[in-house]
Amino acid sequence: MGRPAAKELTERELEVMHVFWKLGTATAAEVRDELSRSEVDRAYTTIATLVRILADKKFLTQTNGERPFRYRPARSYEDVSRSILGDIVERVFRGSREQLLIRLVEQKALTPEERALLEDTLREEEP
């Protein structure tokens, strides 16, 4: 018996989703072409399989009934990134957003622009 399909995105699935978020709608061939322009070389069959998996996982929606099939994102970048980050906070940092922030800043010092953006965001959050 095979392992059940993961609900999370694999690295390659996320790579394909980034193309859909950029283009809006696309065929598997268009996704492959876009990845090639980014110097990511994947076989068409690999991309077609990833697109099918993403549709099965409800990350993509088919928009037409004839070949070549076109798909569009069923979930936004904001929704997916929020979910992935929430999962990382829970699994890696045991729910501690503070630990996540510390690791982010320890990894690489904030640029003045990043610091200003963070300060602006924090000010917006204040009651």
Within a domain: residue 126? no
The structural domain count of the chain equals: 1
**111 located within any domain:** no
- Indicate whether 20 belongs to any domain: yes
- Look at residue 46 and tell me whether its pLDDT is greater than 60: yes
Q: Do 100 and 93 form a contact (C-beta atoms < 8 A)? A: yes
CATH of the domain at 66: 1.10.10.10
* Percent of the chain with pLDDT strictly greater than 90: 80
pTM of the prediction? 0.83
pLDDT at 32 over 60: yes
